[in-house]
Structure 1
Amino acid sequence: MSASIAIFALTQKGVETARRLVAVLPADCYVLDRYASKDEISFTSLKNIVADKFSKYESHIFVAASGIVVRMIASLLKSKADDPAVVVVDQEGEFAISLVSGHLGGANELARLIGDKIGAIPVITTATDCAGVPSMDLIARDQGLIIGDIGLIKHINAAILDGEKVPVYDPDGFLDLSAYSDYFIVVDDLAVLHKSRCGVVVDWHVHDLPERVLALYPRCLTLGVGCRRGVPADEILELIRSVVADNGIALESISCMGSIDAKSDEAGMIAAAQVLGLDLNFFSAAELDEIEVANPSGMVMKHMGVNGVCEAAAMKLANVTQILVPKTKSARVTAAIAKRI
């Protein structure tokens, strides 16, 4: 499997349409065994093949009846934040129906692409697309923001569909709404959102928000970590979570994690980064020693040859000369946070 799209075909006519799609899209083609050629992946049970492949591709195109597809994927669906795109194409290739994950998964875009490639009519039923208004989840995705509670998107989109301007509190200006001034209003006072039908907060701080206010998190923070040899992931994670909680920081706003290259084989640190879903970067002692840290350590200098690891790594990742959250220590772990400008 090398493609990001899987195409499934069940009938002789459907296979012909699937082959037209494979010719113009980067896709793997799964064909019922009796119709499969040597260049296609044959299967005998659609239910089994879909269950096996559903989470392994970013997008799925079914050349089949929509009812069959609904029954095949129903038990596999998790949430609109996690599900891959699903598009249904009829066997004649006349229509491309965006069925699941129209926005975040990209099914609407895929349906349109199929239309461009083979002349199918895209069938898109998401309300914002039908009304020709922006959708908050797409705006957030396109601008690299992390969506807090995706279930709150519906309140924002509903207000837009009703013709209301949605208040947005964005103190650092991470969200560019210049193209959407008809739908959003930027406010300077967070209290405004407590009085509004709904709203959006864009911040790396944690706020106590009303139930219909959506939090969006900019990935603007970098995490530096140091530890003694053999420290388990749980101990590293405990300090990291304590640091963000004590400083009112959203964990979702941390974009990456770093340390000294002497720790590049540290299993606990590697596992902790994986749990948090962060890229883990390592720097040489010489690279870290270029950074002036707020809290130098004689012990670290003795063992690692640098004045500090966690603060220097955080600032190196953020390409800044000031630390946001200085070194915090537990018995065997240190952590610090920097902010990109």
Structure 2
Amino acid sequence: MKSTAVYALTPRGAQLGKTISDQMKADFFLPSAFAADFDAIPFTGMLRVVKKNFSLYLRHIFIASAGIVVRAISPHLASKYEDPAVVVLDQEGKFCISLISGHLGGANRLAKEVAELTKGIPVITTATDSAGIVSLDMLAKEKKLKMLNPKAVKHVSMALLSDKPVMIFDANNSLGLKNKDNSIKIIWISREEDMRDDLPGVRVTFKAVKNPSPGHLILHPKCLIAGVGCNRGTNEQEILEFIANTFEGKGFSLHSLKCLVSIVNKNDEPGLLSAAKKMDVPVIFLVSDELKTIKPPHESDLVEKHIGVKSVCEAAAMFVSGNKKLLVPKLKTRNVTLAIALEV
């Protein structure tokens, strides 16, 4: 199924909808009376088709009055953190309105895309966009940072709109705001522990944060590389539990796990492949010559005897991260070895 649905109610709107759906490779829905004329998917009532489709598509474009669309989608709205993007435009394509999920759902961007196609005007009403102020939730999404507590966005945005300073801890400039001429007042924090609870702020961190201040937006970058070695036939559960327990014990967030890395000899290891899939991260396999370029803290003659290299987990984590130091040197269970490095 496609990610975008386009709807129109009139023959005139259908002409515009056909152009938009073709350009965006979207599914196109029209009333049964004239759907066949435009090679569209027929429906017999707006309320009925919206009820069926609302959770199935990430983006909805309606060529209809805003009032009709509001009545159709209102029973299905959950929250701005879950709802799909909804854009409404008139049948001439003059005004393209971002109606629902402007930032996180991408409706603001969608309205601009549609306006480019129709030569119309995108209508964006979110406060930060209207004020020309950076939207931190949108920026976080673009940079692929996981928002731990998205409700904190409103506190940070209100401070920005009120021209008040916002603290930001972002050691690796994951947001890309350092050394830029920003229109917002930023208090740069160099040490995470110096964040003050009495000021709104943003913490970009790979550390697990429990019970954060309501005014602090916690963002987790994908920056931790886990080197993994395992005996043949090691089950998925042992690998998963070892990684999860290690992250918890070290105070790291699993949201910041970027990938697993091992030696190419393990590229058919079911437990390792399944563990990576469960954690929704890729697994990278390195050849021996790549691992041999790394001088890890711990080397093993026994590992070299069986696999041909003196280190798997440490060398793998260091090679892919580009970091000469490990956050977590080799740990092991009976069947699994693990090392963790911070990507540079």
Worse overlay, 200-209 or 214-223: 200-209
* 1:128 aligned partner: 128
TM superposition shift of 1:38: 7.2
Equivalent residues in 2 for 1:1-341, closer than 5 Å: 1=1, 4-37=3-36, 40-44=39-43, 50=50, 54=54, 57-70=57-70, 72-74=72-74, 77=77, 79-177=79-177, 178-180=180-182, 182-188=184-190, 190=192, 193-207=195-209, 209-341=212-344
The separation in 2 between residues aligned to 1:231 and 1:275, in whole angstroms, is: 15
Report if aligned partners of 1:31, 1:40 keep a CA contact under 8 Å in 2.
Answer: no
Task: Give unpaired runs (5+ residues) of structure 2.
Answer: none
The separation in 1 between residues aligned to 2:56 and 2:285, in whole angstroms, is: 29
Q: Which amino acid is 2:241 matched to? A: E
Q: Which amino acid is 2:218 matched to? A: A
The separation in 1 between residues aligned to 2:293 and 2:169, in whole angstroms, is: 37
Task: Give unpaired runs (5+ residues) of structure 1.
Answer: none
SS in 1 for 2:110: helix
TM superposition shift of 1:156: 0.4
TM superposition shift of 1:56: 5.4
Pairwise CA RMSD of aligned residues? 2.8
The separation in 2 between residues aligned to 1:74 and 1:235, in whole angstroms, is: 46
TM superposition shift of 1:129: 1.6
The separation in 2 between residues aligned to 1:155 and 1:94, in whole angstroms, is: 34
The separation in 2 between residues aligned to 1:232 and 1:149, in whole angstroms, is: 33
The separation in 1 between residues aligned to 2:129 and 2:12, in whole angstroms, is: 31
Q: Structure 1 323/192 Cα, relative in aligned 2: closer, same or farther at 3 Å?
A: closer
TM superposition shift of 1:148: 2.0
The separation in 2 between residues aligned to 1:61 and 1:182, in whole angstroms, is: 33
Q: TM-score normalized by structure 2?
A: 0.86
The separation in 1 between residues aligned to 2:252 and 2:165, in whole angstroms, is: 28
TM superposition shift of 1:327: 1.5
The separation in 2 between residues aligned to 1:52 and 1:224, in whole angstroms, is: 44
The separation in 1 between residues aligned to 2:319 and 2:79, in whole angstroms, is: 36
Stretches of 4+ moved more than 6 A in 1?
Answer: none
